[in-house]
Amino acid sequence: MPLGKNALKLEETGMAHTKIGFIGLGNMGAPMAANLAKAGHSITGFDMTVQAADGVTMAASAQEAARDADIVVTMLPNGDILRAVAADIMPIMTSGALFLDCSTVDVDSARTVADLAMIHGVASVDAPVSGGVGGAAAGTLTFMAGGPEDGFAKAQPLFDIMGQKAVHCGAAGAGQAAKICNNMILGATMIATCEAFALADKLGLDRARMYDVVSTSSGSSWSMNAYCPAPGVGPSSPADNDYQPGFAAELMLKDLGLSQQAAQAVDADTPMGARALELYKQFVENEDGRGKDFSAMLPRLSERGHS
């Protein structure tokens, strides 16, 4: 059971055995729901394609999963689907229940859902995650939450089970804003890290020696130090598993698209974010990057010459 001490704390404070509806049981949602079930909560789940998940009683519809639930958790692919699910289930949710959305979507969708929740007397928190499939399975995700303080407090015991950290970032939509800003940095720094390794190769600089310098110097970053895109260098990462995705390139493309959609909406100048979007779009759509980890940009750059 992940974070067992926290699970014990839930029982002590009467929060165990909460009735939870969980909608969206894909690669991220299924292990998150399983961890909640292991902690003693009653989980009723629904997914359009997934038929079973560990510890989850499967429902025939989203409404069935949400009916009479104390908390409904969603993990969905995009804002349009989130809006549709929210419109479907909120009219039948119990007044005072919590709608906890862990999807990564556009800020406008998060705020629209929060407004809908208010109409139906439901609390709403947008809480996208960082940590990937491995973090979902291990219960070590980071949650970036937006919404009212009381909603965040109600969600906190679940965050303690599914993750290692939760930050209340502000009002509705603030969680999504934090996620897309974070991943815009991540996308740009991963490209810069891959470019540096590709350049080092052509300059005859050993990758391990470059890592030893950069990881302890001013060029250090999470992309270099914790998720190095060069196989056999630094801690184990997807690069050491033939770039099988920990965080797929197409998901990075999605998040960079959300960042630029937000930048356009608020008239923010983000040229590095825009260029990172262009490069990942080319990688995913034209260079066989789909289905690979986003750090697989390194072999792509190593094969190319100066343009």
Catalytic positions, written as ranges: 179
Which letter does DSSP use for residue 293 in this model? B
Q: What is the distance in angstroms between the CA of the first residue and the CA of the last residue of the chain?
A: 51
Report how far residue 89's alpha carbon sits from residue 24's, in angstroms, rounded to the nearest whole number.
13
Q: How does 151-181 read in b/e, with b if 16+ C-beta sit within 10 Å?
A: bbebbbbbbbbbbbebebbeebbbbbbbbbb
Q: Supply 193's token pair.
A: 């890290």
Residues 32/143, Cβ–Cβ less than 8 Å: no
DSSP-derived secondary structure letter, 70: S
**Which residues are 44's β-sheet partners?**
21, 57
CB-CB contact of 127 with 100 (8 Å): yes
For Cα atoms 303, 304, 305, give the angle at the middle one, nearest 5 degrees: 130
Which of 2, 155, 307 is CA-nearest to residue 144? 155
For residue 27, the SS3 value is coil
> Across the strands, what pairs with 89?
none
Q: Which of 235, 233, 227, 220 is nearest to 252 (CA)?
A: 227
How far apart CA 93 and CA 63 sit, in angstroms, is: 8
